Amino acid sequence: MKKLRRFWPRAPLPNLLMLRPPRPHSADLWYWQHWHQGQLLAQGQGWPPETLRNLQCALVIPAPCCAHFELLAPVGLRPHEWPQVLEDQLLQEPDQIQILCFGHQQQRLHLAVVNQELLQDWQQGMQQQGLELSYLWTEFLLLPEPTNEHDLYWSTEGYGCYLMQDAQGVRQRLTWPADQPWPLVSERPMQRLDSTGILPELNADRLSYLLSRSQSRTRRRWMMPRPSRAVQRLAALCAGLGLCALLLEGYALYRQTQVWRAQVVQQLGTVVSSQQAQQRLQPLLRSQHTEQITQQLLAELERTWGDWLSRQSEWQLVESRFNGRVWQLTVSGSQPPTAELSARWQSLAKALAVKLGVQVQPQEQATQVRLSFDLDGAGGA
């Protein structure tokens, strides 16, 4: 089947714009290449022309800005588990980096790590220029596969890239300053690769391989930073606390509902229908209404007779009591009340629509008068 694939027609390669961002703290500029059906048509420094900005874009991360790892890992490892595989190699917190996966071969996972803030700065620069990112590669991915006879070396402005492979097939991708001698002794001869501009020379087969390996990547999936394990634990703890709060609130509402139900049963008794509950509730409502009117009348009586006593120096308050229906007011004076005064009391009571009973109790040195105001009749009016 693999032999037959060589004779199958290759799918046409898309119109592609490759962008290599500047390294931080350097004098680099953005560099771009325009590829069409596997052929390099144009290249330049700075931002690409307006006519090319609607093409699919591949961001090529400079080799010094990322670190590559090939580690033993089980098949089917999920992205949020990648930081656990790199736990011993990482120098930054997981929430400060972006981990990219470039394949899983021979039980080894090929991962690349780049600073999250740096990646976001490049992304914002592209968005400001109207460029839509479709692929995310590194300079090492542009290099061809190493052979069994040679290791690979490629250099550009200020640094060199070394792609080496040991006897077990494990690959190492290392970057070293170009003006310093290479400190490692390679067991195999080093093959020097050519450049196209400031990127490694790329042919149609390698470009087709990169596009085929990247086409299953969900666009922009890498742009969302993966939360660290500490953030995940904190989110789980917050969710648990929120659930506990909802359960406690629900239980408190259930208990309060039971209290309200017991109060209703105490007031109305056991009811079997809403009509029965309404019939039993009407007398209670009338009683509450009557009580409310009685309290208002009592307050008005106290205010009225308080004002009258404050203007009558010959009469003093002795006692005041209320039994829920009748308000009894006992006053004391030097002389028995005259007919005019009794009429005045009756007019005050009539103005408030209450019944007044007057009982005079002569004493040795004074006269006590008990005034009885029947509020029950007024409340039922």
Separation between Cα atoms, residue 371 and residue 328, nearest integer Å: 6
Summarize pLDDT for 278-289 with one digit per residue, the tens: 666 667 666 666
Over residues 33-41, the mean pLDDT reads 87
**For residue 271, what pLDDT band results from cuts at 50, 70 and 90?**
low
Separation between Cα atoms, residue 341 and residue 360, nearest integer Å: 13
Domain at 293-374: CATH code: 3.30.980.10
HEC profile for the chain? CHHHHCCCCCCCCCCEEEEECCCCCCCCCCEEEEEECCEEEEEEECCCCHHHCCCEEEEEECHHHEEEEEEECCCCCCHHHHHHHCCCCCCCCHHHEEEEEEEEECCEEEEEEEEHHHHHHHHHHHHHCCCCEEEEEEHHHHCCCCCCCCEEEEEECCEEEEEEECCCCCEEEEEEECCCCCCCCCCCCEEECCEECCEECCCHHHHHHHHHHHCCCCCCHHHCCCCCHHHHHHHHHHHHHHHHHHHHHHHHHHHHHHHHHHHHHHHHCCCCCHHHHHHHHHHHHHHHHHHHHHHHHHHHHHHHHHHHHHHCCCEEEEEEEECCCEEEEEEEECCCCCHHHHHHHHHHHHHCCCEEEEEEEECCCCEEEEEEEEHHHHHHC
Taking 50 as the threshold, does the pLDDT of residue 257 lie above it?
yes
Average pLDDT of every residue of the chain: 78
Q: Tell me phi and psi for residue 105, to 5 degrees.
A: -135, 140
Amino acid type, 13: L
Amino acid type, 69: F
**For residue 179, what pLDDT band results from cuts at 50, 70 and 90?**
confident
Q: Residue 336: which residues within 8 A CB-CB, separation 6 or more?
A: 360, 362, 367, 369
Residue ranges per structural domain of the chain = 15-215, 293-374
Write down the pLDDT at residue 280. 66
pLDDT above 70 covers a percentage of the chain that reads 82
Min mean pLDDT across 74-78, 126-130, 173-177, 189-193 is at 74-78
Fold of 15-215: Nucleotidyltransferase; domain 5 (3.30.420)
Write down the pLDDT at residue 223. 43
**For residue 122, what pLDDT band results from cuts at 50, 70 and 90?**
very high
Amino acid type, 234: L
Taking 70 as the threshold, does the pLDDT of residue 2 lie above it?
no
> Which tokens in the block code for residue 37?
């059906």
Separation between Cα atoms, residue 145 and residue 217, nearest integer Å: 21
Separation between Cα atoms, residue 344 and residue 305, nearest integer Å: 12
Q: Among 145, 137, 251, which Cα is nearest to 199's?
A: 137
Summarize pLDDT for 240-250 with one digit per residue, the tens: 999 999 999 98
Write down the pLDDT at residue 293. 72
Summarize pLDDT for 295-318 with one digit per residue, the tens: 777 787 778 777 877 777 777 777
